[in-house]
Amino acid sequence: AQSVTQPDIHITVSEGASLELRCNYSYGATPYLFWYVQSPGQGLQLLLKYFSGDTLVQGIKGFEAEFKRSQSSFNLRKPSVHWSDAAEYFCAVAPDMNRDDKIIFGKGTRLHILP
């Protein structure tokens, strides 16, 4: 069965430091991959998505993610975090977007920012 693993439950970084949030998926073929962010009291917002093509994907708010097939990973990165980036981040996979299929979410990584 398809699965998504976010190995870090909590991550703390200083404001201005770089960030990498890890995501690994389990699926035989190339899935469709997403990163969502959930700020306190807010709904989930799509940061970026990968369907095909260039493996380095640019998203909103200065985030990017790189799809690495050999590692079954889709890690989220930001070169310099801001205090407003404190939130929970979810990686998600859709095995086949041409079926009306559900998206499978990881358990999330909560990002804390030190001033």
Partner 1 sequence: GAGVSQSPSNKVTEKGKDVELRCDPISGHTALYWYRQSLGQGLEFLIYFQGNSAPDKSGLPSDRFSAERTGGSVSTLTIQRTQQEDSAVYLCASSLSSTSGGNNEQFFGPGTRLTVL
- Interface with partner 1 (CB under 8 A): 9, 32, 34, 36, 41-46, 49, 51, 90, 97-108
Q: How far is Cα 36 from Cα 22, in angstroms, rounded to an integer?
A: 13
CB 17, min distance to partner 1, A? 25
**Residue with structure tokens 């086949």?**
96
Nearer to partner 1 among residue 49 and residue 77 (C-beta): 49
Nearer to partner 1 among residue 85 and residue 88 (C-beta): 88
**Cα-Cα-Cα-Cα dihedral sign, residues 67, 71, 73, 75:** negative
CB 22, min distance to partner 1, A? 15
CB 37, min distance to partner 1, A? 11
Nearer to partner 1 among residue 75 and residue 105 (C-beta): 105
User: What is residue 31's three-state secondary structure?
Assistant: coil
Nearer to partner 1 among residue 9 and residue 56 (C-beta): 9
CB 84, min distance to partner 1, A? 18
What lies within 8 Å, CB to CB, of 88 at 6+ separation is 37, 38, 108, 109, 110, 111
Q: What is the largest CA-CA distance in the chain?
A: 45
